[in-house]
Amino acid sequence: MFWRVWPRHSEPPPGTSIRFNSYSGPPPLGLVLGLLLVGAVLLRPGSPWVWCSVAFFVGHSAIGHKELRFLLPLLYALPVLVGYSVSALDRSWSAGRWRRGFVWTLVAQNVVLLAILATPAIHRGKEFDWHYFRALWQVSERAAGAPVYVLDTLEDPYEVVTGLSTNIYRHPSVQAARMEVGTPPKDLVPPDVGSDRLLLVTRTESPPALPGVATLGLIYEAEAGYVRMARPLGLRTAGFITWLEMVDRWTVSDWKRKVYEVWLEAGE
């Protein structure tokens, strides 16, 4: 019911559950489903819809890793469960009072949720950038099994937050080459590595000056999905798009990655 995005064997940062639960939909969907199921069991104990939903909910509550999307199959049962509840309320003498209270509760929840979603403070950065991981995969596939070296300040180019790395689009050919200040890239990779197998990942507007590097070629720049959709429509500079970028923290994100192909100087 009260889910986290980290598995049990990993300790989340302080306040993670509070931050994620606060905007996953107040009240949490898991809590709403729990209350609906309790009511449905009491009202319709003979319904197969009820017991199938209970089995699914209890089983998924027992697993260590929880995400909101895991509950999506229950959406098929929601109309039935809600119908049972509404039917019970209609038979009650206080149905009108309950209905008014329920409607005003929904209005209040949506007002609070809108205020939260329009506040930059609770939005996470762009660490979960699947387009970036896919870009690494595509370059590695073109390398036909040869190692692809990724120059980065992190130990692992697939790291999304400190201590947590993704397995999505993780290619076995990708090798991390951790950059140190003042260290030429040629000292971090084998001498036969070409520009098609040597990448630089940055999180700044401009790439750093690297000794022994002739030029850099930008092959990927992170951007929001709504920006990708707005560009072909000619709406890239529209006011509401730039407002979304500000609210969604794209303009100040520390995880706004850029990927460059690296050409070493001749003889390097």
> Would 255 be classed as within a structural domain?
yes
Last residue of a domain, one of 98, 122, 146: 122
pLDDT of residue 19: 40
Whether 154 and 76 share a structural domain: no
| Domain containing residue 44 | 16-122
Last residue of a domain, one of 57, 88, 122: 122
What is the CB neighbour count within 10 angstroms for residue 229? 12
Pairing of strands 174-178, 159-161: unpaired
Edge to edge, what strands does the sheet with 148-152 contain? 174-178, 148-152, 198-202, 258-264, 213-221
Whole-Å CA distances, 24 to 27, 52, 192, 244: 8, 25, 49, 18
**pLDDT in tens for each of the 268 residues of the chain?**
333 443 433 444 444 443 444 444 445 555 667 777 787 888 788 888 888 888 887 887 777 666 667 777 877 877 887 777 777 666 665 556 666 776 777 777 777 767 666 655 444 456 677 888 889 999 999 988 899 999 988 888 888 877 778 887 889 999 998 887 778 888 888 888 887 899 999 888 888 888 888 899 999 988 877 888 888 899 989 998 888 888 777 777 777 889 999 988 876 5
Whether 86 and 196 share a structural domain: no
pLDDT of residue 72: 77
- For 135, what's the count of Cα atoms within 13 Å in the CB-facing half-sphere? 21
What is the CB neighbour count within 10 angstroms for residue 100? 10
pLDDT of residue 199: 93
pLDDT of residue 17: 40
Last residue of a domain, one of 100, 122, 144: 122
| CB contact at 8 A, 157 and 133 | no
Whether 65 and 170 share a structural domain: no
Whether 222 and 140 share a structural domain: yes
- The distance from CA 245 to its chain's CA centroid, rounded to whole angstroms, is 16
> Would 3 be classed as within a structural domain?
no
